[in-house]
Copies of this chain bind each other. A is one copy, B any other.
Amino acid sequence: MSAKTTVKPRAISGFPEWLPETRLVEQRWMDAIRRIFESYGFCNIDPPSVEDIDVLASKGDDIDKEIYALRRLQADPGGEEPRYALHYDLTVPLARYVAQHFNALSFPFKRYQIQRAWRGERPQEGRFREFYQCDIDVVDIDDVALDFDAELPVIILEVLARLGLDRVTMHINNRKILQGFYAGLGIDDVVAAIRIVDKMDKIGPQGVEKALVDEAGLDTATAGRCVELASIRTPDASFAERVRSLGVRSELLEEGLRELAFVLEHVAATTQGQGQAYADLAIARGFDYYTGTVYEGKFVDYPDYPSILSGGRYDDLVGSFLRRRLPGVGLSIGLTRIFAKLVKEGRITPGARCPTDVLVVQLPGVDRQVARDCGRRLRARGFNVEVYHAARKVSAQMKYADRKGIPYVWFPPGEPGGAHEIKDMRSGAQQPASPDDWAPAPGGAEDRAPA
Binds B, one of A58-66, A163-171, A183-191, A251-259: A58-66
Q: Does B60 lie within 8 Å of A68, measured CB to CB?
A: no
Chain B residues near A58 (CB-CB < 8 A): 1
- A355 interface residue, CB < 8 Å from B? yes
Q: Does B322 lie within 8 Å of A60, measured CB to CB?
A: no
Size of A's binding interface in residues, CB under 8 A = 110
Q: Does B24 lie within 8 Å of A44, measured CB to CB?
A: yes
CB contact between A41 and one of B40, B47, B145, B384 (< 8 Å): that residue: B384
Q: Does B53 lie within 8 Å of A384, measured CB to CB?
A: no
Query: Smallest CB-CB separation from A3: which chain B residue?
Result: B316
Chain B residues near A305 (CB-CB < 8 A): none
Name the interface residues of A1-30: CB closer than 8 Å to any CB of B.
1-3, 5-12, 15-20, 23-24, 26-27
Query: Smallest CB-CB separation from A146: which chain B residue?
Result: B389
Q: A43-B353, A71-B68 are in contact. Are A384 and B3 (CB under 8 A)?
A: no
CB contact between A389 and one of B26, B145, B288, B383 (< 8 Å): that residue: B145
Kindly state the separation between the CA atoms of A116 and B97 in the bound complex, as whole angstroms: 19
Query: Smallest CB-CB separation from A325: which chain B residue?
Result: B3
Kindly state the separation between the CA atoms of A235 and B379 in the bound complex, as whole angstroms: 26
Kindly state the separation between the CA atoms of A96 and B53 in the bound complex, as whole angstroms: 31
Q: Does B400 lie within 8 Å of A106, measured CB to CB?
A: yes
Kindly state the separation between the CA atoms of A70 and B368 in the bound complex, as whole angstroms: 49
Shortest CB-to-CB span from A409 to chain B, Å, is 13
Binds B, one of A80-88, A197-205, A275-283: A80-88
Kindly state the separation between the CA atoms of A7 and B108 in the bound complex, as whole angstroms: 23
Name the interface residues of A337-351: CB closer than 8 Å to any CB of B.
none
Q: Does B71 lie within 8 Å of A7, measured CB to CB?
A: no
Name the interface residues of A315-356: CB closer than 8 Å to any CB of B.
316-317, 319-323, 353-356
Q: Does A43 lie within 8 Å of B354, measured CB to CB?
A: yes
CB contact between A69 and one of B24, B73, B321, B382 (< 8 Å): that residue: B73
Q: Told that A1-B287, A17-B47, A48-B130 touch, could you supply 12 new A-B pairs with CB distance under 8 A? A: A7-B52, A7-B55, A9-B100, A9-B322, A12-B48, A26-B46, A41-B354, A68-B73, A106-B354, A145-B390, A147-B389, A148-B389
Q: A residues bordering B, Cβ < 8 Å?
A: 1-3, 5-12, 15-20, 23-24, 26-27, 38-55, 57-60, 64-65, 67-74, 81-82, 84-86, 96-97, 99-101, 104-106, 108, 110-111, 116, 118, 120, 130, 145, 147-148, 151, 269-270, 287-289, 316-317, 319-323, 353-356, 359, 368-369, 372, 376, 379, 382-386, 389-390, 400, 403-404, 406
What are 28 inter-chain pairs, A to B, with CB distance below 8 A? A1-B288, A1-B316, A2-B320, A5-B320, A6-B319, A6-B320, A7-B52, A9-B52, A11-B100, A15-B50, A17-B48, A18-B45, A23-B46, A38-B355, A39-B379, A40-B384, A41-B355, A41-B406, A43-B353, A53-B73, A57-B73, A68-B71, A69-B71, A69-B73, A70-B86, A108-B389, A110-B386, A145-B390
